[in-house]
Structure 1
Amino acid sequence: MQQRLERLVNLVQPLLFLLIGGEILLVYLQILLPLYQSFGG
């Protein structure tokens, strides 16, 4: 049982990191892109 749980955590952890990283990236883009465009234009 413990081994199965650990394997599941090892599988899920990178996916979670990817999801969280993607969310943060999207938020950054939503904040930075308008700023960048206002500076550029």
Structure 2
Amino acid sequence: DLPGVFLAIILILVVGIAIDLLIFSPIERYVLRSRGLLVKS
């Protein structure tokens, strides 16, 4: 049952990265910008 375990681990990793990029990155950018910590390039 090892391939199933590896598949689950990879799936969780990919979903976690996707959630981080889609949800948390925009929120973090908004918070930094609203507090004046983000320098616009």
Which is helix-richer, 1 or 2?
1
**Length-normalised TM-score, structure 2:** 0.64
**Length-normalised TM-score, structure 1:** 0.64
Percent identity reads: 18
Please give the root-mean-square deviation of Cα atoms over the aligned residues, in Å: 1.1
**Structure 1 runs of 4+ off > 4 angstroms?**
none
Distance 1:25 1:10 in 2: 23
Unmatched segments (≥5 aa) in structure 1: 1-5
The aligned length equals 33
Q: Which protein is bigger by CA-based radius of gyration?
A: 1
